[in-house]
């Protein structure tokens, strides 16, 4: 069982190997596909060993740190695609459970106080209309509930000011330009994040450009620090 996940009394099958009856993710699939791996503390890329220096490309990021549960690879890419594009919102607990296996994630959420903020990365109005829901919001809500986090779960303090192209279609330079000035903190509440720790939640980090742009906006609004939680990190 994942730490914090409720026990299910009804039989189910593993989402990966489809064995029956099994938990939503069986122990053998977790061991095979979700083993702990050393990662860069700031951009969550896999590293050769714990304690390696920050990656050259992320040393100057606004984002203070990022935790990723797995690499964006089989079988997680298929499950995340179903979660995001086929409205399989029930996967939010599964992915939250993956993240909560990490002691660092549990410590981060446990250290947040009632004045701090846990927030999903917002979608543009066009993207939200296309999908019908924000997968990052479903994930953030599950993380908040399952972890017992005391932070405020907020969805309206960070705004997406314009529609952007999907980052996966672009090279690094295009990704940076694509999300430049794409985020704004709520103008009707100018001090909404001032002096608060903020944790952003998203499903996948590709290059980190989007989360870093969001972190820059939050820091400019006075946040005392911004970290991120993502289910999967695209390998370099």
Q: Is residue 33 part of a domain?
A: no
Q: What is the CATH number of the domain that holds 81?
A: 3.40.50
What are the pLDDT tens digits along the chain (236 aa)?
Answer: 444 444 444 557 899 999 987 788 899 999 999 998 999 999 999 987 766 667 888 989 999 999 999 999 999 999 999 999 888 888 999 999 999 999 999 999 999 999 999 999 999 888 888 888 999 999 999 999 999 999 999 999 999 988 776 766 667 677 767 778 889 999 999 899 999 999 999 999 999 999 999 999 999 999 999 999 999 999 98
Q: Is residue 34 part of a domain?
A: no
Q: For residue 209, with 0-12 CB atoms within 10 Å meaning exposed, 13-18 middle and 19 or more buried, which class applies?
A: buried
Domain count, the chain: 1
Q: Is residue 9 part of a domain?
A: no
The Cα–Cα gap between 18 and 4 comes to: 23
Q: Is residue 57 part of a domain?
A: yes
The Cα–Cα gap between 93 and 97 comes to: 6
Which H helix or E strand runs over 30? helix 27-33
pTM: 0.90
142 is in which domain, residue-wise?
40-233
């Amino acid at each position: 069982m994942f730490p914090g996940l409720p026990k299910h009394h009804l039989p189910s099958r593993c989402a990966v190997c489809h064995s029956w009856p099994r938990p939503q993710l069986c122990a053998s699939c977790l061991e095979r596909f979700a083993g702990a791996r050393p990662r860069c503390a700031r951009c969550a890329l896999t590293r050769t060993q714990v304690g390696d220096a920050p990656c050259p490309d992320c040393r100057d990021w606004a984002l203070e740190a990022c935790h990723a549960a797995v690499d964006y690879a089989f079988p997680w890419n298929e499950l995340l695609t179903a979660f995001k594009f086929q409205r399989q919102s029930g996967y939010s607990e599964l992915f939250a459970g993956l993240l909560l296996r990490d002691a660092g994630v549990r410590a981060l959420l446990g250290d947040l106080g009632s004045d701090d903020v846990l927030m999903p990365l917002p979608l543009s109005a066009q993207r939200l209309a296309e999908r019908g829901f924000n997968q990052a919001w479903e994930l953030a809500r599950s993380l908040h509930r399952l972890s017992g986090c005391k932070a405020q779960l907020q969805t309206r303090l960070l705004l997406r000011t314009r529609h952007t192209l999907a980052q996966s279609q672009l090279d690094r330079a295009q990704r940076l330009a694509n999300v430049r000035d794409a985020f704004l903190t709520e103008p009707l509440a100018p001090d909404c994040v001032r002096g608060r720790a903020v944790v952003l939640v998203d499903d996948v980090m590709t290059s980190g450009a989007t989360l870093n742009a969001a972190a820059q906006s939050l820091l400019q609004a006075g946040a005392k620090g911004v970290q991120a939680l993502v289910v999967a990190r695209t390998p370099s």
